[in-house]
Amino acid sequence: MTERDDERESSEGGDAGGGRAGRGAAGGGRVRRGLSAALRFTSLRLRLMLVFGMVALTAAVAVSGIAYWLNREAVLTRTQGAALNDFRQEMGSRAGELPARPTAGELRHAANQMATSSQHYEVLLLVGEDGGAPAIGGSDVKAFALDDVPSSLREAVDKEQPLTSTNRSPYHLYWQRVTIADTPYLVAGTRLIGGGPSGYMLKSLEPEEKDLNSLAWSLAIATALALIGAALIAQAAATTVLRPVHRLGAAAKRLGEGKLDTRLQVSGTDELAELSRTFNRAAQALEKRVAEMSARDEASRRFVADMSHELRTPLTAITAVTEVLEEELDAETGSVDPMIEPAVRIVVSETRRLNNLVENLMEVTRFDAGTARLVLDDVDIADQITACIDVRAWLDAVELDAERGIMAQVDPRRLDVILANLIGNALKHGGSPVRVAVRTDAGDGTGRGDVLIEVRDHGPGIPAEVLPHVFDRFYKASASRPRSDGSGLGLSIALENAHIHGGEITAANSDEGGAVFTLRLPRDVSEADVAGDGRQGGAR
């Protein structure tokens, strides 16, 4: 009988547990990679649900893994402990009663008596392994043979240990967990002290494995339920959190559309409620600021309009006087004193310039007030351009490339203003010859079609930093020469006249050199379009 028992777990048992752990780690890695990819979505609701799910899954897997490992160790330790203790006692009582040289039948009888234990294991007893053929007796040689015992376990059982102060027994009880035909078993062996037989036991762990598998399935179901519960909680939390965010987004959209009286209903004291209060304060401040700016803008427009109207009366008188002075300058009698002739010419020129400026300002106020309207007529575009060039004596400086018969429904006076500004600007800044070309375009495919008028000069072109501002009011390319013959309103008025027709003007530089202004006008502007475009023009 052994005095001391050393229990050593085999590598097979460790590998089995390690395999499960490895598969769990690999599965966890795939889940984490999948969640990382899912978190790239921009939906806040989805991200909240994924975060909740990831936390719940991590917690459930961790708790389930720990519970499974603790239960597994407890079940296996309890089972193998009971079996080993029973086997140790049976070896001492049954095998210890055998004679020194038992026969195979005596060994088999003792093994059968040991196998009737409550632990339900098979027993194998043998003697004479030191030399000659050993005598072997087993409870069931078909279920448990000597070949089923690992050689490492047999070597450990038969090896005599030296006696020391800490080791008082030459032989010990050893065990291993093995798998035979996909069924887990506990194999143990020991040798009686004093030359008795060696004994081995084989206990099936299949019932414990089934219990552990049932436990694993239960824990997996619990993990899945926890994940579903976390998703439901995340959905509820996301709805609670995102509802104020959605209201805030809708309010911000309405505010961006110009509805400055938009406010949010605030309830609670959390961060979202404070955000809503901040939004309301910002919207209130913005509404106040816009109202102040609108009032100042309206006052400025009214001032410009009133000033323009007030200036027309004295300008009319001054213009009449300057026309008389100009006639005297051109008269052959030479009634004007040569000493004051330069001053008179300056007065005439500046009066004409001031008169044009007032007319432009009044036109701008009409556009801003939305009162500019069209007087439409069917016009031959080529004839209109020819008339514009002829009345300003530009025939020698402008080349016209336009076929007669291209008709369009436009306001002749406003089209003349557009052409005069574009051609005059090209002559002033680009130099002659200026080429005006007319062509038609199918437009948007509705059958209406557009008329395109290109005004091209042969000058140096428009600087890149000036190009985005050519249609700005009062903008002049040279800041060092703010005073020039122009008012800085011509191209702006031309653009507004194009808009009120439902058209557009674009400016660009030609690859061949010079600037190109392209006027696009619809060929048949309906009364509904005129009214709508007029309001648009006035809002600019």
Specify burial of residue 337 (Cβ count, 10 A radius: 0-12, 13-18, 19+).
exposed
| Cα–Cα distance list, 380 to 387, 422, 496 (Å) | 11, 19, 22
How far apart CA 438 and CA 385 sit, in angstroms, is 10
pTM: 0.45
How far apart CA 150 and CA 202 sit, in angstroms, is 11
* Average pLDDT of span 395-424: 90
pLDDT at 332 over 80: no
Alpha helices in 139-205 (DSSP H): 151-158
Confidence bin at 9 (pLDDT 50/70/90)? very low
Q: Is 197 helix (H, G, I), strand (E, B) or coil?
A: coil
The mean predicted confidence, pLDDT, of the chain is 78
3-state secondary structure 474-488: CCCCCCCCCCCCCCC
* Average pLDDT of span 56-83: 86
Q: What is the location of CATH 3.30.565.10 in the chain?
A: 373-539
Q: Write down the pLDDT at residue 442.
A: 67
Q: Write down the pLDDT at residue 7.
A: 42
Confidence bin at 508 (pLDDT 50/70/90)? very high
Q: Cis before residue 433, ω within 30 degrees of 0? A: yes
pLDDT at 86 over 80: yes
Question: What DSSP letter does each residue of 394-421 carry, written as one string?
Answer: -TTTEEEE--TT-EEEE-HHHHHHHHHH
Architecture of domain 373-539: 2-Layer Sandwich (3.30)
Architecture of domain 271-366: Orthogonal Bundle (1.10)
Q: Write down the pLDDT at residue 334.
A: 59
Question: What DSSP letter does each residue of 161-177 carry, written as one string?
Answer: PPP-SS---S---EEEE
Per-residue tokens: 491:
């191209």
DSSP one-letter code for 524? B
pLDDT at 340 over 80: no
Q: What is the location of CATH 1.10.287.130 in the chain?
A: 271-366
Q: Write down the pLDDT at residue 333.
A: 56
Cβ neighbours for 209, distance < 8 A, ≥ 6 positions apart: 184
Per-residue tokens: 434:
């200026």
